[in-house]
């Protein structure tokens, strides 16, 4: 009934026109999602964390916590003893989440701890939601592009089962504390002797949320950005265990006398990346950096993508891979705000973007969410870092050797027949400026992928003149680039003022 209410409010929201009315409706939806908890609240957190309206932000930090008296039976059942035998004090909670809430407490030895207690009836709520998910019909893009709903339901069910088991979460948290070696990263200590399937006790950690870090000195913000990036790289390419819920309520930031620190919380939603998929992803980056595209399709299949579905977009896949892994293909600091990945993929694939999404394994959504979380954090921190040099510094050299030697299975020949055209893709974007006053001409060379940021490559004064011309259309030019898949061509050959400008892909 709660979910039906949310659905009706969403329908109502779509027909509203005044912003004040829309704001009230969104707040009502957020309140309903918080009241249900479980998967519904997690969905609201994803909406909020992906740039949704501000009314959903409350789902990321604090919710309406339940009284301690209501949670004590669960706590004592999990401890298998009375509260007084473990804690000298325990406070009411001000931090309610989707499956449980956190209380600050003090052990008998004086150590301050965070006690995470699962809501008494939340397992039944989640089971009901999973049953409703099982009744979800395959309509719209799901049906048209053959998206495997059963795989997504299984992934959702498996993940929620792990999240509901705090004992499992405690073990994963202890593992990540043991295997992640990033300077400035704090993984709270787990008190395993007090943990059970519905109770998790860990060290109490102080810190502020990301929005409060924006005013910190640039040096601290850059250090925090580096910690976040190295944590993702080490998790994805080395340890194979990735934090899959990077919303702002799960990460604290603090400054000590020595350095800034990142406190990573809530290990309920983690993703295990198989070794084959990790090696294939790193292999793909290495191949793209060397200008090789022959193994792109095979690497995607080794990462878990469906070869048959990829065959429908195999001609676009090489350029798509370069767009997806663009930050790793340059050596200088990368500005994520200029990535425009969604817009570029839309222009490259159009409706066929659903084939790519349909081809991916069900848990690819959580990996994408981890990357999206990082890019959003970097944007808020106003920090640009060099991804490739930092990757080299972060993971063990053996991982690069293993990836270099990894040979994915060939893409099925019967699916390639007549579909793949290895027309030579340009390697360089070249800008040549010749001055009429006999000054030395200027020649600039950069990776071909820079052509997708052409408006930032052409000198500002020339771009201004071109934009004022009715014969020039930057949008159409970039679309032409995508359709030609960056094949060698002259992009711009013009005379402006006292200079000649030639921009070409070679």
Are 4 and 29 spatial neighbours (Cβ–Cβ below 8 Å)? no
Q: Tokens 């767009």 — which residue?
A: 323
How crowded is residue 114: how many other Cβ atoms within 10 Å of its Cβ?
Answer: 18
How crowded is residue 98: how many other Cβ atoms within 10 Å of its Cβ?
Answer: 27
How crowded is residue 386: how many other Cβ atoms within 10 Å of its Cβ?
Answer: 17
Cα distances from 482 to residues 25, 446, 463, in angstroms, run: 40, 18, 20
The set of residues, in sequence order, having a beta carbon less than 8 Å from that of 70 and lying 6+ positions away, is: 120
Burial 13-50 (b: 16+ CB within 10 A, else e): beeeeeeeebeebbebbbbbbbebbbbbbbbbbbbbbe
DSSP H helices in 98-205: 122-134, 141-144, 149-164, 166-179
pTM of the full predicted structure? 0.78
Q: Quick one: pLDDT at residue 325? A: 93
Q: Quick one: pLDDT at residue 332? A: 92
What tokens does 8 get? 């009706």
Are 39 and 157 spatial neighbours (Cβ–Cβ below 8 Å)? no
Q: Tokens 């339901």 — which residue?
A: 153
Q: Which long-range contacts (CB under 8 A, 24 or more apart) does 66-70 make?
A: 66/93, 66/96, 66/101, 66/119, 67/92, 68/92, 68/93, 68/103, 70/120
Q: Quick one: pLDDT at residue 283? A: 97
The set of residues, in sequence order, having a beta carbon less than 8 Å from that of 310 and lying 6+ positions away, is: 297, 300, 301, 317, 355, 356, 359, 411, 415
The C-alpha atoms of residue 154 and residue 413 are separated, in whole angstroms, by 31
Torsion angle (degrees, nearest 10) of CA 263, 267, 271, 272: 100
What tokens does 252 get? 């604290």
The domain limits of the chain are 2-60, 207-422, 428-505
The C-alpha atoms of residue 228 and residue 183 are separated, in whole angstroms, by 10
Among 405, 400, 409, 402, smallest CA distance to 295 is for 409
Q: What percent of the chain is modeled with pLDDT above 70?
A: 81
Q: Quick one: pLDDT at residue 244? A: 84
What tokens does 131 get? 């049953």
- Please count the helices (runs of H) and the strands (runs of E) in the chain: 22, 14
Q: What is the DSSP letter of 192?
A: G
In angstroms, how far is the first alpha carbon of the chain from the final one?
61
**Intervals of the chain under pLDDT 70:** 1-13, 15-16, 29, 32-63, 130, 132-153, 416-424, 437-439, 457, 469-471, 485, 496-497
What tokens does 480 get? 């032409």
Q: Name the helix (H) or strand (E) containing 146.
A: none
Q: Quick one: pLDDT at residue 445? A: 77
**Three-state secondary structure call for residue 470:** coil
């Amino acid at each position: 009934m709660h979910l039906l209410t949310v659905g009706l409010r969403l329908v109502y929201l779509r027909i509203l026109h005044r912003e004040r009315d829309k704001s009230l409706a969104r707040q009502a939806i957020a309140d309903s999602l918080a009241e249900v908890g479980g998967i519904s609240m997690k969905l609201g957190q994803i909406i909020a964390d992906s740039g949704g309206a501000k009314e959903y932000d409350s789902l990321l930090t604090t919710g309406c916590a339940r009284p301690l008296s209501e949670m004590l039976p669960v706590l004592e059942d999990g401890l298998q003893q009375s509260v007084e035998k473990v804690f000298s004090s325990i406070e009411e909670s001000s931090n309610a989440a989707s499956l449980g809430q956190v209380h600050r407490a003090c052990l008998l030895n004086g150590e301050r701890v965070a006690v995470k207690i699962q809501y008494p009836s939340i397992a039944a709520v989640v089971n009901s939601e999973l049953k409703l998910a099982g009744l979800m019909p395959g309509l719209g893009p799901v049906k048209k592009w053959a998206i495997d709903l059963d795989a997504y339901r299984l992934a959702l069910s498996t993940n929620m089962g792990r999240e509901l088991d705090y004992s499992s979460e405690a073990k994963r948290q202890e593992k990540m504390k043991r295997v992640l070696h990033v300077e400035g990263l704090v993984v709270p200590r787990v008190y395993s002797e007090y943990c059970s399937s519905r109770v998790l006790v860990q060290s109490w950690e102080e810190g502020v949320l990301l929005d409060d870090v924006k005013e910190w000195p640039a040096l601290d913000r850059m250090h925090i950005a580096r910690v976040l990036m190295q944590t993702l790289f080490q998790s994805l390419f080395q340890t194979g265990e990735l934090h899959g819920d990077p919303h702002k309520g799960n990460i604290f930031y603090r400054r000590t006398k020595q350095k800034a620190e990142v406190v990573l919380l809530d290990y309920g939603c983690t993703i295990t990346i198989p070794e084959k998929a990790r090696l294939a992803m790193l292999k793909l980056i290495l191949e793209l950096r060397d200008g090789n595209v022959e193994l792109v399709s095979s690497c995607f299949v080794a990462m878990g993508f469906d070869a048959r579905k990829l065959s429908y977009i195999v001609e676009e896949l090489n350029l798509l891979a370069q767009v997806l892994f663009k930050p790793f293909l340059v050596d200088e600091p990368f500005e994520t705000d200029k990535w425009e990945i969604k817009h570029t993929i839309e222009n490259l694939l159009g409706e066929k973007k659903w084939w790519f999404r349909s081809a991916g394994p069900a848990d690819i959504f959580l990996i994408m969410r981890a990357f999206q979380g990082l890019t959003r954090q970097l944007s808020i921190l106003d920090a640009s870092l060099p991804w490739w040099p930092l990757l080299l510094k972060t993971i063990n050299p053996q991982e690069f050797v293993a990836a270099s030697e990894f040979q994915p299975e060939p893409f099925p020949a019967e699916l390639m027949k007549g579909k793949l055209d290895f027309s030579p893709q340009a390697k360089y974007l070249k800008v040549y400026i010749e001055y009429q006053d006999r000054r030395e001409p200027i020649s600039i060379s950069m990776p071909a992928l820079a052509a997708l940021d052409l408006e930032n490559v052409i000198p500002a004064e020339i771009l201004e003149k071109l934009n004022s011309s009715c014969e020039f259309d930057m949008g159409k030019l970039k679309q032409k680039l995508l359709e030609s898949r960056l094949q060698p061509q002259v992009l711009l050959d013009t005379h402006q003022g006292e200079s000649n400008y030639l921009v070409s892909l070679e």
